[in-house]
Chain A
């Protein structure tokens, strides 16, 4: 099989449509007679609903219908548990899932209470303003640590201490091993991961076709198949009666997964009730409250090291803010717990967390999905340890890497995919060497930094490492089909939100079927086109769907060869597939197009041999035994204005290993985008809540997404350690860039301002100029 496209920086197939404004996004769906929805949302973090008066709203011209929880009848149900907790021995898990409209009580600001359907969104919003609700404010569990106290206000009256979950994982015996430590380091870390803020907010359009008995839902979802199945069950329809289309999606990053958000559940139901298409588009103000966050954890962590700086063990006890409901189970804190271990040997590990309900928006995975929190704790502990024994941050990492011959490497604890946390492959030292070489680490420390410091400049350098579990199961599938036009189509069940699937998947197929990459049409995110699948999350699209596609394309290739061999009455080995044609090797003029072969494979008259299947098509499924572990290292040089604490990133280097790469351009883009979000998380984005559970900066003017002047140019290098877990050898890359930026900032800023000498350590993310100044002045 040729690799004309695989591994090449192929330009994207989807771009022309996106660049000319002709790509369909959910809000672009216009249907005749379509009505529009708006929600009255709770202004309180925790309150009783005494009464609701919707009469004035109903009387407003253009208002079609108004629903409160009472009006939903049997359709009012708690949402499903989306991800059950993994089988960690002794785990406690209190399941509380969200409801379509609050009944009697609201548990976070922005929780939907009343749904208004009107002729336009403008009128629907007018009507929301007409509704009067008599509230009785209840005590609020806002700040994480306060919410975890036994006497804290309760989000649920029957759950003292607001314990959503509790899990303890162990390897070895930390307590005993730590007795032999050269040094033990103990610190408290807080890490807040903010929220994803894709440029496109969420949206749902639903249309009930009375004549066909069929519901179509356009949804900004990363998991259309799961939504189709769930909605069919909730609405009492069969799955074939529901079609979910996830068209072009303007960024997902996690929260657009199959959340069964209240709006997602209600709009299709209303479209059926009214027998009229209904659209709801989340506005940015709603997005801050109604789309899930990731937010924060507080870690009390301890690391024991020996004289050489080798880790003896780590003990970590942490609190995790899960918000008002926990339908997504424990994915985020389990990821924190596991990813903390990073690329390092940690013989003894003792980690215990408590997930805590708070009167705030739900917490579910956002790009990194808890990995950031764990990586921050580990990397910071290593930095402090390096200081204690007088070696560089680079050196202490090197001394603790898992050796290249130790794979597969089992950490002996349970991961988010319910298997034991095992790294498939990896080789960490070359990655570290690469990034150090790119940034000029030794030279900077030996020459440049002293020189610049002598000039009065505050410059600092940092390097951090991380691993990322990617490409987890269960499975994805794909169907590859040669069309009579000679083009090849690929359909798969995952949704796509900008990861370039229209191109990377096409590259796999183009090579297998010998067609130009632009002649491969990729169809994703339409449940009528492909029935099965799990969704785009955990950096798994390319790994899992990519391999299913690779297998299906291989099968189609065999069918092409068999059909052509029959046609030419030759052996398959005499055939060449190239440029959309099959030709007889060494016999010029003897060739047939794939389109013609597709026609032959579908005879319209006469008899066929028993067992013949029509068409040049194949469907295949792929499910990896466990996730593939990608890894990387980032390095950065910063300069800080010591008076204003404004930070300038002078250099940024990334070295990473995501196995075999399908399209380096796309991989670079994914990493760069991840780093930008990491920079946002480390230094700009901060969800500021008060004690009443009110979010004080719910706008893009005050929740600061990094701009083109805040994100530096990145210098990137790659190494390739193929994954043995899938035929293509690939590992996911979707989240890698975002994961290690917090500790990188902390290390670099400490170095630039020489904070440790002044007794200051940076143990909290996000940072900001104001926070830096406050910390430094108290030194």
Chain B
């Protein structure tokens, strides 16, 4: 227990989208930069780097979190999932992704990965939300293009389709 416990570089092992990675990183590297530029998982977007826009939202042990407000070293031993994990294979889309396409829930698509990572987790816990609840759950993700209406529609449609799928 001494100041040598403070490290300049850290060896980091974590799981991203089910795959294990080991890298040596500077402690200051943000998780968003690590995912994007060290692992090449550029689906996670960066919009503000101060926690407001939500574009960088990933799931940290299954829970949505800002990857711009987390250091990569903090993911040591944890599991991260990003938008790249959602579709479940090339050429496929998840029920939520499909609903976004159906309802025109994206325009430039820059905010979309963060919104998907937020709402995927949300729907898993709230299978039958009202429109007001969906809007509240979305409020930590800014979208400058859509005015949100089609995003809300997409989430409600996905909820419906997921419920139908679960019932079937």
Contact = CB atoms under 8 A, between A and B. Distances in A.
Interface of A: 9, 11-12, 14-16, 18-25, 27-28, 30, 122, 196-201, 248-251, 253, 283-284, 497-500, 665-666, 668-670, 672-677, 699-701, 705, 707-709, 711, 713-714, 737
Nearest to B103: A665
B44 interface: yes
Contact of A23 (B109, B134, B143, B150): B109
A677 B107 CA distance: 14
Q: Which of A12, A20, A199 is the most central at the interface, judged by chain B CB atoms within 10 Å of its CB?
A: A199
A673 B82 contact: no
Please tell me the size bucket of the interface on B: 35 or more
A251 B108 contact: yes
Nearest to B134: A708
A665 B134 CA distance: 21
Q: Which of B26, B82, B83, B101 is the most central at the interface, judged by chain A CB atoms within 10 Å of its CB?
A: B101
A669 B150 contact: yes
B102 A11 contact: yes
Nearest to A126: B28
Given A25-B45, A700-B142, A248 B148 contact: no
Interface stretch (B7-15, B46-54, B71-79, B159-167): B46-54
Contacts of A699: 48, 50, 52
Interface in B133-160: 134-136, 138-152
Contacts of B97: 19-20
Contact of A283 (B45, B49, B93, B111): B49
B139 A708 contact: yes
A14 B26 CA distance: 36
Contact of A200 (B37, B43, B45, B101): B45
Nearest to A121: B33
B64 interface: no
A28 B53 contact: no
Contact of B110 (A19, A250, A665): A250
B110 A20 contact: no
B84 interface: yes
B46 A27 contact: yes
A707 B142 contact: yes
Given A284-B50, A676-B147, A248 B109 contact: yes
Contacts of B134: 708
14 contacts: A11-B101, A19-B83, A19-B101, A21-B41, A21-B42, A198-B144, A199-B108, A498-B110, A668-B150, A675-B147, A705-B142, A705-B144, A707-B138, A708-B134
B106 A199 contact: no
A199 B42 contact: no
B147 A284 contact: no
Contacts of A673: 107, 144-147
A248 B43 CA distance: 12
Given A199-B108, A500-B107, A711 B149 contact: yes
B135 A200 contact: no
Interface in B83-106: 83-84, 86-87, 93, 97, 100-102, 104, 106
Nearest to B82: A21
B82 to A, nearest CB: 7
A378 B41 CA distance: 50
Contacts of A714: 147, 149
A283 B111 CA distance: 16
Contact of A30 (B37, B83, B112): B37
Given A669-B150, A708-B141, A708-B148, 14 more contacts: A11-B104, A19-B116, A22-B84, A28-B36, A199-B55, A199-B142, A200-B110, A250-B110, A250-B111, A251-B144, A284-B47, A284-B48, A284-B53, A709-B135
Contacts of B87: 19-20
A14 B109 contact: yes
Nearest to B116: A19
A700 B53 contact: yes
Contacts of A713: 131, 149, 152
B18 interface: no
Contacts of B48: 284, 699-700
Given A198-B144, A673-B146, A708-B152, A15 B106 contact: yes
A705 B116 CA distance: 20
Contacts of A21: 41-44, 82-84, 113
B137 to A, nearest CB: 8
Contacts of A11: 101-102, 104
A717 to B, nearest CB: 15
A283 B45 CA distance: 12
Interface string B109-125: 11111001000000000
A58 B113 CA distance: 38
Contact of B47 (A9, A199, A669): A199
Nearest to B97: A19
A28 B42 contact: yes
B77 to A, nearest CB: 24
Contacts of A24: 42
